[in-house]
Structure 1
Amino acid sequence: MVLRFLTRFMLIILVIILLLGIPGYVYYTLTLYKPKTVQKGYLALTRASVLVGENLNSFMDSTILIKDGVIVKVGNSSDITIPEGAATLDMNGCTVMPGLIDMHVHLSSYEHQVNKVLNFLSMPKMLADLVRFTPDKRQALLKNGVTSVCSLGDEYKWIMDLKKQIRDGVLEGPRIFAAGPVFTIPGSHTTDVLGADPESVRLPSTPEEAQRMVRELAHNDEPIDLIKVVQDRGDRQHALHPVAHDILHAIVNEAHNHSLPVVARWGTEEDLQDVLDAGVDSLQHLEDHTGDINNLWPDNILKLILNHNMPRIVVGTYAGMPGAFFGDGIHHEMEKLVESGLTPREALKAATSGAAKVLRTDYIGTIGVGQVADLIVIDGNPLKNIKDTRNIVMVLRDGRIVVDQL
């Protein structure tokens, strides 16, 4: 009798698990956001206004010929012979430009409004998103024309796994450039927030250890694309420990030895001087300690940056942090740059060719022969009105159409 009862009880538990597990598995499988196709053979985008090269020069009535995800010809439509059997899309009246690059995202962070308090009820959605590699964020980025992103602080194994799955065509999403673990020291801003988790931070105590850590990340099975360092002394209310000068220089020099760019988060003017003297390639978090980017920098800060040959502005939205959302934020950033005095062309370069230069990559960020076909098609002319970048009618990622609203 007892055995029969236990058997029936176990069967009931098993049935409950199956009933809960099957819908969960179906939901997981159907919502992963996978590529629908791979671009094979020839595809021609004809009669478009095309923004070509690093300077995004506009050419009317032009054709882009793509083969297997790579641009093979660009020029006047009358000068390009379209191969027989090629797929053809008429882009008359539209502008074709390079896909946008967001230089600062946190893909594993939970999107929410600034004043929203996260609680236990938020956990199921957060876990479901992480397990599925945040499909809503990947889709929102592509929908807004963001075909490449720079991850600056996601958990190391998680972001490298996501990068690989997108690269291998298992999942759909923007191209990922990943910094991996953040370089800092105990007591810094990053360890205050994340702790000393080796999946999130590297804490070298000597220059030699810093060099070894960089080498390991540069040459493992899934090498990183850049290094992020945090140099922040905090403020009077909360003093933080900076990275020692010899360690900071060792990180930057070893990264450059492996052709890796270095980005820096900094706090005080002294921190800024430290990272500039060390030779970092770009600066993050260009806001003062009030957190308000609209507050003007003192002239000495701006002169310090310009004197170190770092005048290039790129677009990074900080997406994933409270109030910073994926996709739409990059248009807001470009609009803000134009409001601040940049021309629309300069703002567009900050999100395309300029960003690609900071990443030290030569296959994205511009339209030209040999470039990957990461493209966006716009109804309008963003060189005249930067807000036209919101009028996206098509997005191509490696030549495959991932957004189609024509």
Structure 2
Amino acid sequence: MVADATAIDGVRVFTGDGLTEPQRVCVEGERIVTDGTPDVTVDGVGKVLLPGLIDSHMHTLGRGDLADLARWGVTTGLDMAAWPLSFVTDMRAQAGVAQILSATTPAVGPGGNHAKMPGFPADGIVTTPKEAYAFVERRVADGADYIKIVTEAAPPRGMDQATVKAIVDAAHERNLLVVAHSITTGAFRVAVEAGVDISTHAPLDAVLDDETVARMRDAGMVSSPTLTMMRGIADARAGAGLRYGYARDTVTKFHEAGIRLLVGTDANSAPGVPFAPKHGASMHDEFELMVGAGLTPVEVLRSATTLTAQTFALADRGEIAPGRRADLLLIDGDPTTDITTTRKIHGIWLAGERIR
């Protein structure tokens, strides 16, 4: 189905730094264009047009999850663990819903919680540096968009430092980014020492120390803190000494240090998990939590669009400009001053086709 040529008139456009004056935005086919003759004109007066949102950490178990993302303006999801490859291939090909990228199978230690998940692939369990290189080669063969590592437990449950470092080195040789799952301060230190590119989650056992934060800053590491998930885990395991405030205050330190922050939710629909953020809706929860950690609304919106696109080299999206993919979110109100208005959705376009 070919999407109608569309003009959105009188709308202010989010640029990554703020809003433009009211203007016309034209869409033909799947792309934003400089000008055109529209089949459909949309009144954008008093509204704000955002690039489609990008969730930098989510999981999918099926098309329904991707449809839920799209209904809330999340037009791209970065899946951080999925298998088998046939399932990932099928999800990548879904039309009319959010697009995904995927790490495919993550690297985990032999005795950690992830390795005990029902059906977890044996080829994702890595115990030595030699196995690390073979693991990365398998992910390259799968067409993984980036590499995911779980850095939670020390041996014999988790991977040792040398093995984590070997995965990072092998991935970088293949020009792949490495994302590390870390929810404790010790896991962060393992990830930093190994030279990962992106940390996902934020620690619940303590606020991350100044030295580790400085090392992350100096190395150019990026953080996707998933505060929605951290709050959910802390609430679910209140008696285990885990505190959401540690995660929030760590994000505040990241922000003050100038570490790039991305918006991610860890949205999932898996049975038996400690907390399952809702696909799409949780993105807007995350916005509010990141503002609560000290980011401005403009910074949060940038972290959900342009910065994530830049970090993951998604050159065709994350910005409203001619030639970019027409993934668009039309909002009633001004989310640059009140982040809660991102929930006031007036229109959503996926590759030029209006779905809401």
Shorter chain as normaliser: what TM range?
0.7 to 0.9
Q: Secondary structure at the match of 2:334?
A: coil
Alignment of 1:4-403 (within 5 A): 37-39=1-3, 42-52=5-15, 55-73=16-34, 81-83=35-37, 86-108=39-61, 133-135=62-64, 137-157=65-85, 159-166=87-94, 169=95, 172-194=96-118, 196-198=120-122, 202-220=124-142, 223-233=143-153, 241-289=157-205, 296-310=207-221, 311-320=259-268, 321=273, 322-403=275-356
What stretches of structure 1 of length at least 5 have no aligned partner? 1-36, 74-80, 109-132, 290-294
Distance 1:319 1:385 in 2: 23
Q: What is the alpha-carbon root mean square deviation over aligned residues?
A: 2.4
Question: Conserved in 1, the CA contact under 8 Å of 2:189 and 2:212?
Answer: no
Amino acid at match of 1:64: V
Distance 2:138 2:306 in 1: 29
Relative distance call for 1:342 and 1:59 in structure 2 (3 A) is same
**1:204 CA drift (Å):** 3.4
Question: Conserved in 1, the CA contact under 8 Å of 2:110 and 2:126?
Answer: no
Q: Give the aligned partner of residue 229 of structure 2.
A: none
- Equivalent pairs: percent with the same residue? 27
**1:335 CA drift (Å):** 0.7
The list of structure 1 runs, each at least 4 consecutive aligned residues, that deviate by more than 6 angstroms after superposition, is none
Relative distance call for 1:154 and 1:176 in structure 2 (3 A) is same
**1:315 CA drift (Å):** 1.3
Distance 1:231 1:149 in 2: 22
Q: Give the aligned partner of residue 246 of structure 2.
A: none
Aligned length: 314
Relative distance call for 1:279 and 1:300 in structure 2 (3 A) is closer
Question: Conserved in 2, the CA contact under 8 Å of 1:186 and 1:203?
Answer: yes
**1:213 CA drift (Å):** 2.9
What stretches of structure 2 of length at least 5 have no aligned partner? 222-258
Distance 2:323 2:141 in 1: 26
Q: Secondary structure at the match of 1:182?
A: coil
- Structure showing greater Rg: 1
Question: Conserved in 2, the CA contact under 8 Å of 1:184 and 1:204?
Answer: yes
How does the TM-score come out when normalised to structure 1? 0.71
Relative distance call for 1:351 and 1:233 in structure 2 (3 A) is same
